[in-house]
Amino acid sequence: MKIIIDYPIIWQKMLEHDISITDLALEAGIKRFTAWNLVQGKYVPDLQTCQKIVKALKISDTELFRVKP
């Protein structure tokens, strides 16, 4: 299974909702360093982490990622 993430949408939604890296990390329950690497596209999270990020950004999961078998 491969997760394809739309990284630019993360920055866009963070700017729209005025969410900082620290806020994103706290809301998603991940480390700040992990959140920073995520938004830079250096970290590919697992499905569970993607769902936490979707919830933190208040977007639908189809906006952020899709899963390929």
C-alpha distances (whole Å) from 55 to each of 22, 28, 37 are 15, 7, 18
Query: Rounded to two decimals, what is the model's pTM?
Result: 0.79
Contacts of 10 (CB under 8 A, 6+ apart): 38, 39, 53, 57, 64
Domain count, the chain: 1
Domain extent at residue 36? 2-68
Burial of residue 4 (number of CB atoms within 10 Å: 0-12, 13-18, 19+): exposed
Say what the pLDDT of residue 25 is: 93
Question: What CATH number does residue 53 fall under?
Answer: 1.10.260.40
Q: How do residues 12-54 score in pLDDT, each as one tens digit? A: 999 998 999 999 999 999 999 989 998 888 888 888 888 899 9
Distance from the first to the final alpha carbon of the chain? 4
User: What is the rounded (10 degree) CA torsion for 53, 55, 56, 57?
Assistant: 90
